[in-house]
Amino acid sequence: KAGVTQTPRYLIKTRGQQVTLSCSPISGHRSVSWYQQTPGQGLQFLFEYFSETQRNKGNFPGRFSGRQFSNSRSEMNVSTLELGDSALYLCASSWSTTEQFFGPGTRLTVL
């Protein structure tokens, strides 16, 4: 079974730009969650989508948004990028509340 895939794996943007990251969950998984990981703040929950609806949201500004498509693939968007948005963005999928499967992440660098 293929794992969670995230594209692109690496991305460099400049301040003020926007970026879209993509996540393809494991087949059959309807829940997709996004996390931001930085050296200073660690792993922080961004939001979760289930059957195309946002089910949970973390404490991030409105510049961070996401969506989920009918095939469970998900995208997250960050508008008006700031230097502090440089991070590893991780996507996780699951079919239950027991175990989440994480992708390898997208490393975003904002210059």
| 3-class DSSP assignment, residue 86 | coil
Q: Per CB under 8 A, does 43 bind another protein?
A: yes
Residue numbers 46-65 binding another protein by CB under 8 A = 48, 50, 55-56, 58
Cα–Cα dist 51/3, whole Å: 19
Rule CB under 8 A: is residue 90 a binding residue for another protein?
A: yes
- Residue ranges that bind another protein, judged by CB under 8 A: 4, 31, 33, 35, 42-45, 48, 50, 55-56, 58, 90, 92, 94, 97-105
